[in-house]
Amino acid sequence: MAELLSTPLHAAHLDAGAKMVDFTGWHMPVQYGGILAEHKAVREDVGLFDVSHMGEIDFEGPQALAAVQKLITNDVGKLVDGQALYTAVCLPSGGIVDDCIVYRQGPERVRIVVNASNIAKDEAHFREHVGGMCEIVNRSDETALIAVQGPRALALCGQLSPRLLEIGGFHFGPGEIAGKPVVAARTGYTGEDGFELFVAAADARAVWDALVAGGATPCGLGARDTLRLEAKLCLYGNDIDATTTPLEAGLGWVVKLGAGAFVGSEALAAQKRDGVQRQLIGFRVQGKGTPRHGWELVASAEANAEVIGHVTSGGPAPTVGGSVGIGYVRTGHHKADTVIAARSKHKLVPVEVVKGPFYRRAG
């Protein structure tokens, strides 16, 4: 059995008594004091996540921007230095290789942050398609990433590094916390405002400890999942993968076919012209029950109802109450307020299709 990978903050999690689990080959904290308490801390105060298992791949040289444009569905040309965007990376078939955030660091330097389970795959994909255009450098091992999320996240980070308060949404810039240089990006994966802090691996513990001392609650993967589910944010490997396209997954807003050709653009143009056959929906459970990944979605709550799709994510929604989920259904069954059902081998649970996220922060 392969030894699990660990982040630069591994000792901090053990010192805090976190419950640790195997997450796609990484030894990561699933919770500290309890998932519900950590979820509440992020929604009402400020929570802290170690996301150093994510990958950082840099593109450097005069053709860096052009190379990234060939790889992503969104338009890197609209970015200015210090600005970021969310995007998909696709196969020639239009299937999703990964969903990523792209950071324009300068006219000849771009960073793509990729999902932890996809680092090696993504790097190989990048090199296969644009490897001759610029230098591609994987800086994942030398970089830690700490997410500070919640209504008090900006105030806490601003107290420790006042210049961070100048950073707008989906922008990033330099600062210093606990005497250590950081690059703070106004991005996140919880539905709340906050920062994701890039810091040298050797400096991560000092930054983490300063944030905890400032009142941030350490949070694990359990709360991260309930938070992103309430915000209806896709999880790669569950809700999107190489068999799904951005147009099917409700990510058409990051597909900019007019920005120039990219890997998968022909397939996506054809799918947009012909229409998608299935669509990703969000649903709220009516009554009790919690549908999980792999359950069938059926046309009604009748015992012999027709299968129209499947659940990709499901779980409790502590902030809004009850249980919610995400899944794919055949086009025509995707409209808001439609009542369908989720079915496992032993349960049948009525659900209502919901438009947009289940939770949206004030303002």
Q: Is 363 a residue whose pLDDT tops 70? A: yes
- In percent, how much of the chain has pLDDT > 70? 100
> How much is the pLDDT for 246?
98
> How much is the pLDDT for 2?
73
What is the residue type of 46?
V
Q: Is 1 a residue whose pLDDT tops 60? A: no
pLDDT digits (tens, 9 = 90+) for 113-160: 999 999 999 999 999 999 999 999 999 999 999 999 999 999 999 999
- Given a contact cutoff of 8 angstroms between Cβ atoms, the answer to whether 248 and 281 are in contact is no
Out of 3.30.1360.120, 3.40.50.450, 3.40.50.620, 3.30.70.20, the CATH code matching 10-54+142-230 is 3.30.1360.120
d(CA 129, CA 95): 15
Q: Is 319 a residue whose pLDDT tops 60? A: yes
d(CA 106, CA 79): 10
Orientation angle between helical segments 153-160 and 204-213, nearest 10 degrees: 120
> How much is the pLDDT for 107?
96
Mean pLDDT, range 311-319, rounded to an integer: 98
pTM over 0.85: yes
How far from chain centre, in Å, is Cα 46? 18
- Given a contact cutoff of 8 angstroms between Cβ atoms, the answer to whether 47 and 223 are in contact is yes
* Two tokens, residue 215: 């009142």
Q: What is the DSSP letter of 307?
A: E
Which residues are within 8 A (CB) of 73 and not within 5 positions of it... i.e. 6 or more apart? Answer: 87, 88, 89, 90, 246, 251, 254, 255, 256, 262, 264, 265, 268
Confidence of residue 335 (pLDDT cuts 50, 70, 90): very high
d(CA 150, CA 157): 11
- In 131-193, which ranges are continuous DSSP H helix? 153-160
Q: Is 18 a residue whose pLDDT tops 60? A: yes
Protein fold of 55-138? Alpha-Beta Plaits (3.30.70)
Domain range annotation of the chain: 10-54+142-230, 55-138
Whether 10-54+142-230 and 55-138 share one fold: the answer is no
Mean pLDDT, range 211-233, rounded to an integer: 98
Mean pLDDT, range 325-340, rounded to an integer: 97
d(CA 74, CA 58): 17
Q: Is 349 a residue whose pLDDT tops 80? A: yes
